[in-house]
């Protein structure tokens, strides 16, 4: 394989990969287009300019659809491969891989059918190219893109807008700096009115990438050289062509015969004889092939750097989007557990420190609980009036003799009841801190971002677990309070009368047993007992709360969730890993691009080795 073949073939292979990925150039893609970076030859011409004839002559075969109206409605990427002399000619479409066409009338029909497959019978145009490769001894290695003919009027059955649509499509090709423009104009028409030249001039004013072709030289009067004077100046010399006339086509004149006739025409023409070696479709094909090859060679370094840059960008985009997940249940389960673990780790960091939030639990124990305990209405409960009321009611018809045992118990029971409130409130306060930390941790788990469904599932599983811990914790703290009422600290009361005696007070007489002082003393005794209990609970409630809620949350927040997940089937696991569709789409695009660019890099590497 010569370098020329491999370079043009290389670009073609990359172009085909681009088409397979929906990159036909143009800016409608979210990614930069590789297609646009590849040099190509676009064939443009007005209706009846002889565009099809030139292409068929370059190929040496009749194979393009004919007919009235706009026949070419999709770009045709025509890749020509030269084969050894004597080899059988054949064609292949990239949409029908491994099918060889050696009958070119079927190639023509397939182009028509494939055009209709995308555009429907609407006669609309489509930018999705058809890729056709032709293997023949009668061609040079060259790739040409046949575009719809520029037209001024829509014919019946075609929408008005088609005129502008065609111009836009052709323009989108020729305006790319890497596009070589093959501008075809008929000699029997004023060059100033040539659609092809008008467009080429607009997008390539210096004419450095435009090749001018004049067809129908045979229709000019003898003695006029259509290539001199009248033609518009370009950097590359104009090439004159003589194609088959309509009469030749009707008579089915063979393309190879037509080529010979063309050669003879130039060789014997008094007007073009001196230029005969630089005229005709065969010369044009060689000229284009050589030029395309040199342009590709010059562009290779920048294509390579574009590819490398794009690969880097795509890799980091993929990292950001997260790698795709396996489809089998095992891989999915593994992924889910990994994600849960990632979340759990962050949640623990919030509790243990490293991330903020855990300190708010200490805040509950250090501020909220003591403050709530201080605010309990013991003053009211142990006011002289209430003490007298409770003690008298407890005594019944027989007032107490020494100490109001029943009265004490009732006063203490009543007071201890008040502790239930702050105990439950501490449980709830810690519950809300934990719940908030779960919410925060889910948000902070980068890996979970892609999976809104799993996020919601983890949130609800964690929520349920926290709810259970809360219930358990409430039972425990209330039990602590109940324990205080079920058995009073005997020592405390044993000490009371002794203290009075030590203080040297005379034993209260029956007379003042029912005085205010007596009830005040009872109140203050109860109050100091309750104060002692309050101190105890201030220490034990946090222990219970941490034991039942914080410790459990750290150890087994998602345990139940794990057992549920373990029972799920592949399909249900897949649902949990349901991602934001936009994100999935983006990743898919990204992965495809990455594949394309890597394939392109391999192609380029292999060519460089061959050189």
Ligand X SMILES: Nc1nc2c(ncn2[C@@H]2O[C@H](COP(=O)(O)OP(=O)(O)OP(=O)(O)O)[C@@H](O)[C@H]2O)c(=O)[nH]1
| End-to-end Cα separation, the chain, in angstroms | 10
Q: Does residue 158 bind ligand X (CB under 6 A)? A: no
* Contacting range for ligand X; rule: CB under 6 A; set: 236-244, 311-319, 320-328, 494-502: 236-244
Question: Per-residue x/- mask for ligand X, residues 262 to 301, rule CB under 6 A?
Answer: ----------------------------------------
Nearer to ligand X, 45 or 422 (CB): 45
Residue 27 to residues 242, 285, 519, 584, Cα–Cα distance (Å): 38, 31, 93, 22
Pick from 235, 322, 286: which is nearest to 580 by CA?
322
Question: Per-residue x/- mask for ligand X, residues 196 to 225, rule CB under 6 A?
Answer: -------------------xx-xx------
Q: Contacting ligand X (CB under 6 A), which of 32, 33, 48, 406?
A: 48
* Contacting range for ligand X; rule: CB under 6 A; set: 21-29, 43-51, 392-400, 418-426: 43-51
We find the least distance from the C-beta atom of residue 260 to ligand X, in angstroms, to be: 15
* Contacting range for ligand X; rule: CB under 6 A; set: 6-14, 109-117, 240-248, 329-337: 240-248
What is the dihedral angle through the alpha carbons of 368, 534, 537, 367, rounded to the nearest 10 degrees? 20
Question: Per-residue x/- mask for ligand X, residues 130 to 149, rule CB under 6 A?
Answer: -------------------x
Nearer to ligand X, 47 or 383 (CB): 47
CA separation for the pair 598, 606 (Å, rounded): 12
Nearer to ligand X, 216 or 299 (CB): 216
Pick from 588, 591, 586, 595: which is nearest to 17 by CA?
595
Q: Does residue 94 bind ligand X (CB under 6 A)? A: no
Q: Contacting ligand X (CB under 6 A), which of 20, 118, 203, 249?
A: 249
CA-only gyration radius of the chain, Å: 46
Nearer to ligand X, 48 or 392 (CB): 48
Q: Which residues pair with 239 in a beta bridge?
A: 213
Q: At what angle do helices 281-321 and 51-59 cross, to 10 degrees?
A: 90
Half-sphere exposure of 95 (CA within 13 A, CB side): 16
Q: Does residue 52 bind ligand X (CB under 6 A)? A: yes
Q: Does residue 242 bind ligand X (CB under 6 A)? A: yes
Nearer to ligand X, 206 or 250 (CB): 250
Half-sphere exposure of 184 (CA within 13 A, CB side): 28
We find the least distance from the C-beta atom of residue 240 to ligand X, in angstroms, to be: 9
Nearer to ligand X, 51 or 350 (CB): 51
We find the least distance from the C-beta atom of residue 52 to ligand X, in angstroms, to be: 3
Which parts of 71-90 interact with ligand X (CB under 6 A)? 71
* Contacting range for ligand X; rule: CB under 6 A; set: 50-58, 101-109, 118-126, 374-382: 50-58
Distance, C-alpha 292 to centroid of its chain: 37
* Contacting range for ligand X; rule: CB under 6 A; set: 45-53, 363-371, 527-535, 559-567: 45-53
CA separation for the pair 456, 461 (Å, rounded): 9
**DSSP per-residue letters across 106-128:** HHHHHHHHHHHHHHGGGT----P
Nearer to ligand X, 15 or 243 (CB): 243
Q: Contacting ligand X (CB under 6 A), which of 9, 25, 39, 50?
A: 50
Pick from 453, 442, 443: which is nearest to 558 by CA?
442
Half-sphere exposure of 605 (CA within 13 A, CB side): 8
We find the least distance from the C-beta atom of residue 569 to ligand X, in angstroms, to be: 59
Q: Does residue 47 bind ligand X (CB under 6 A)? A: yes
The two three-digit tokens of residue 108, written as one number = 């023509």
Phi, psi (rounded to 5 degrees) for 135: -110, 120
Nearer to ligand X, 247 or 511 (CB): 247
Nearer to ligand X, 51 or 587 (CB): 51
Report angle CA 223, 225, 229 to the nearest 5 degrees: 130
Count of residues that interact with ligand X, criterion CB under 6 A: 21
CA separation for the pair 238, 256 (Å, rounded): 23
Contacts of 542 (CB under 8 A, 6+ apart): 365, 369, 426
We find the least distance from the C-beta atom of residue 58 to ligand X, in angstroms, to be: 12
The contact set with ligand X (CB under 6 A) reads 45, 47-53, 71, 149, 215-216, 218-219, 241-246, 249
């Amino acid at each position: 394989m010569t370098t020329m073949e491999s370079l043009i073939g290389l670009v073609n292979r990359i172009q085909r990969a681009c088409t397979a990925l929906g990159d036909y150039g143009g800016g409608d893609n979210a990614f930069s287009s590789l297609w646009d970076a590849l040099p190509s030859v676009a064939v443009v011409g007005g209706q009846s300019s002889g565009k099809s004839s030139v292409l068929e002559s370059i190929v040496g075969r009749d194979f393009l659809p004919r007919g009235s109206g706009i026949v070419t409605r999709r770009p045709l990427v025509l890749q020509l491969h030269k084969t050894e002399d004597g080899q059988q000619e054949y064609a292949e479409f990239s949409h029908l891989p491994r099918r060889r066409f050696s009958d070119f009338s079927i190639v023509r029909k397939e182009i028509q059918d494939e055009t209709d497959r995308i555009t429907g019978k609407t006669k609309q145009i489509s930018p999705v190219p058809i890729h056709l490769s032709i293997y023949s001894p009668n061609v040079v290695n060259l790739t040409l893109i046949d575009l719809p003919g520029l037209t001024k009027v829509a014919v019946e059955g075609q929408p008005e807008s088609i005129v502008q649509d065609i111009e836009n499509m052709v323009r989108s090709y020729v305006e790319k700096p890497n596009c070589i423009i093959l501008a075809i104009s008929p000699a029997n028409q004023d060059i100033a009115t040539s659609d092809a030249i008008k467009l080429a001039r607009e997008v390539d004013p210096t004419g450095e990438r435009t090749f001018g072709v004049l067809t129908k030289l045979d229709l000019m009067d003898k003695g006029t050289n259509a290539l001199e004077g009248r033609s518009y100046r370009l950097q590359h010399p104009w090439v004159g062509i003589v194609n088959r006339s309509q009469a030749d086509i009707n008579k089915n004149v063979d393309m190879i015969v037509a080529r010979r006739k063309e050669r003879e025409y130039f060789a014997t023409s008094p007007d073009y004889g001196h230029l005969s070696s630089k005229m005709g479709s065969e010369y044009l094909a060689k000229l284009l092939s050589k030029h395309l090859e040199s342009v590709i060679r010059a562009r290779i370094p920048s294509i390579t750097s574009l590819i490398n840059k794009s690969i880097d960008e795509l890799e980091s985009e993929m990292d950001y989007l997260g790698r795709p997940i396996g489809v089998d249940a095992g891989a999915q389960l593994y992924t889910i557990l990994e994600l849960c673990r990632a979340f759990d780790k962050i949640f623990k960091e919030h509790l243990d420190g490293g991330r903020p939030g855990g300190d708010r639990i200490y805040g509950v124990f250090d501020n909220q609980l003591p403050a709530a305990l201080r605010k309990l209405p013991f003053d009211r409960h142990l006011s002289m009036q209430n003490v007298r009321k409770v003690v008298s009611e407890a005594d019944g018809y027989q007032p107490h003799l020494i100490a109001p045992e029943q009265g004490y118990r009732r006063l203490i029971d009543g007071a201890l009841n008040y502790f239930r409130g702050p105990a439950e409130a501490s449980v709830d306060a810690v519950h809300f801190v934990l719940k908030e930390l779960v919410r925060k941790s889910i948000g902070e788990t980068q890996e979970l971002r892609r999976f809104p469904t799993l996020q919601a599932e983890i949130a609800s599983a964690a929520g349920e677990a926290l709810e259970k811990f809360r219930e358990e914790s409430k039972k425990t703290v209330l039990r602590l309070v109940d324990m205080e009422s079920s058995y009073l600290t005997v020592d405390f009361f044993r000490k009371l009368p002794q203290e009075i005696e030590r203080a040297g007070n005379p034993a209260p007489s029956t007379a003042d047993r029912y005085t205010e002082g007596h009830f005040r003393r009872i109140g203050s005794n109860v109050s100091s007992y309750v104060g002692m209990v309050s101190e105890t609970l201030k220490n034990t409630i946090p222990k219970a709360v941490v034991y039942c809620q914080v410790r459990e949350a750290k150890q087994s927040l998602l345990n139940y969730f794990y057992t549920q997940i373990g029972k799920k089937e592949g399909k249900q696991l897949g649902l949990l890993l349901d991602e934001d569709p936009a994100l999935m789409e983006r990743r898919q695009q990204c992965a495809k691009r990455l594949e394309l660019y890597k394939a392109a890099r391999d192609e380029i590497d292999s060519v460089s080795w061959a050189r």
